[in-house]
A and B are shown apart, each in its own frame.
Chain A
Amino acid sequence: MLEDFLTAARARAPEPSEALMARILADADAIRPRRAIAKRSLRERFGTLFGGWQGIGGLATATAAGLWIGYAGIADPGTLSGGLVEPGAETVELMPGADVFALASAVEG
């Protein structure tokens, strides 16, 4: 006997109304995670600000170099490259004869 009642109840199951479905879908939309923008972490935003990991790498290198120069107290920063550049290449004449033009210009006045 009980099975007949259970069968009848299963056949007469309540169905969600359109209004209920609308409310549920409105809730889902209201709290739906907005992808990308909302999900980006502080670290990601910081990285983007300085040009990604390449930018941060360059910035870190420059910062480390600055700290080293400041800590070492080098009087003449020009000597920093002394060990890397050959002595003969210290002066390069980019405009041969430029001093003559400069002298002529000064004389003509």
Chain B
Amino acid sequence: MAFDAEDDRTDEALLALYGRGDAAAARALAFRLTPRVLRVAARMLGDAAEAEDVAQEAMLRLWRIAPDWRSDGAKVSTWLYRVVVNLATDRLRRRRSVPLDAVQEPEDDAPGAVGRMIEADRAAALEQALLELPERQREAVVLRHLEGLANPEIAAIMGVGVEAVESLVARGKRGLTKALVDRREELGFGND
């Protein structure tokens, strides 16, 4: 979405204003776009500190491109999502040497307490299962089902066709379901 409750100007209009030196436009853009950038980075990386670094770097690139931004029909948010995904992917590749077992487990002090997990545990379980997916599937699922983007926009972000996105999302969801089924009883879905 290019609009928010505080400012009905589009992302593109705000970026153009910032490119001409408007400090207030930067503030509006930062408060609008940083949450999205951080969410994607966090889901891709599974590490809060690294996600913050990626979010800051992505926004820095946005500030730098502002004076030269040429809309040509492109959306700022699409461009920014692509930057975040690429930055996160770079970091994942750098840490390839770290075995999967070393990925931090979400805190899970009382699994299945009194037969029912709280919502936070389900969210943590999903985030953990996401980290076990191949990167491209993870990107597609995060953008489609957690960010709520349409497939054509995801295709533009990932640099693939819409059919490839559909395939990645479908395979990603199957992978998530398989990973979560193993913990179904534990997570309070035993009777579903």
**Does A pair with B?**
yes
A20-B27 contact in complex given A1-B189, A5-B176, A33-B66, C-beta closer than 8 Å? no
Chain A interface bracket (under 10, 10 to 19, 20 to 34, 35 or more): 20 to 34
| Interface contact B192-A1, CB-CB below 8 Å | yes
Instruction: Give the A-B contact count at a CB cut-off of 8 A.
Output: 104
| Interface contact B55-A2, CB-CB below 8 Å | no
Chain A residues with Cβ under 8 A from B56's Cβ?
20, 23-24, 27
In the docked arrangement, what's the CA distance between A28 and B48, Å? 22
In the docked arrangement, what's the CA distance between A73 and B28, Å? 68
How many B residues, CB 8 Å from partner?
Answer: 45
Interface flag for A12 (CB, 8 Å): yes
Secondary structure of the B contact surface, majority rule: helix
In the docked arrangement, what's the CA distance between A34 and B67, Å? 11
Nearest-neighbour CB distance to chain A for B114, whole angstroms, equals 18
For A8, A17, A25, the residue with the greatest tally of chain B CB atoms inside 10 Å of its CB is: A8
| Interface contact B60-A27, CB-CB below 8 Å | yes
A21-B30 contact in complex given A10-B146, A14-B39, A28-B59, C-beta closer than 8 Å? yes
